[in-house]
């Protein structure tokens, strides 16, 4: 029995140290997100280089979602929808890659988006290799967060 507990201890420690999707999204977007539900949490990252795609969709109660909408509307790094062509193209690629994992996402007609191209210097800006996109739908009170790493 003691051997089994000693074997499980490292696993439990690693699991307890792992950040929740809400905390990860909060940190990257530099937002203090309200309490919400994780509706989607997909991640295909893996392998030696950690390449892959991920999507987290968070749903908020109407009153907290409204407060988040007010905050995002006042931030200069969040743009009004519809998205610029480059960001929309990348988002389309991420969504099509995650369709096989069960993602069914439609960009809302109203709201805000945040886009960051994290590609290393010297790579073509026409095709980002690493980027992050977030979209907030004020009508549905949902924040969708996407990452592409290749």
Domain-embedded: residue 11: no
pLDDT of residue 6: 43
Average per-residue pLDDT for the chain: 84
Domain-embedded: residue 125: yes
Domain-embedded: residue 10: no
pLDDT of residue 127: 62
pLDDT of residue 130: 86
What gap in Å lies between CA 93 and CA 56, rounded to an integer? 16
Compute the chain's Rg from CA coordinates.
17
What gap in Å lies between CA 69 and CA 81, rounded to an integer? 13
Domain that holds residue 80: 19-149
What gap in Å lies between CA 124 and CA 95, rounded to an integer? 21
Domain-embedded: residue 6: no
Residues 6+ apart with CB under 8 A from 101: 42, 44
Domain-embedded: residue 109: yes
Bridge partners (DSSP) of residue 146 are 55, 133
Domain-embedded: residue 9: no
Domain-embedded: residue 76: yes
**Count of structural domains, the chain:** 1
Q: Which residues of the chain have pLDDT under 50?
A: 2-3, 5-17
pLDDT of residue 16: 43
Query: Could you tell me the sign of the dihedral formed by the alpha carbons of 11, 17, 22, 25, in that order?
Result: negative
Domain-embedded: residue 5: no
């Amino acid at each position: 029995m003691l051997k089994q507990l000693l074997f499980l201890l490292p696993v439990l420690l690693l699991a307890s140290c792992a950040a929740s999707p809400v905390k990860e999204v909060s940190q990257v977007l530099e937002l203090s997100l309200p309490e919400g539900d994780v509706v989607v949490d997909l991640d295909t990252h893996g392998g030696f280089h950690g390449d892959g795609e991920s999507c987290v969709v968070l749903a908020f109660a109407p009153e907290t979602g409204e407060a988040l909408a007010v905050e995002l509307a006042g931030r200069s790094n969040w743009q009004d929808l519809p998205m610029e062509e480059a960001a929309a193209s990348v988002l389309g690629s991420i969504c099509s890659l995650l369709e096989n994992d069960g993602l069914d996402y439609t960009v809302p007609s109203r709201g805000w988006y945040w886009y960051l191209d994290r590609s290393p210097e010297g790579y073509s800006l026409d095709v980002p290799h690493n980027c992050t996109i977030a979209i907030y739908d004020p009508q549905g009170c949902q924040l969708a967060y996407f990452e592409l790493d290749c």
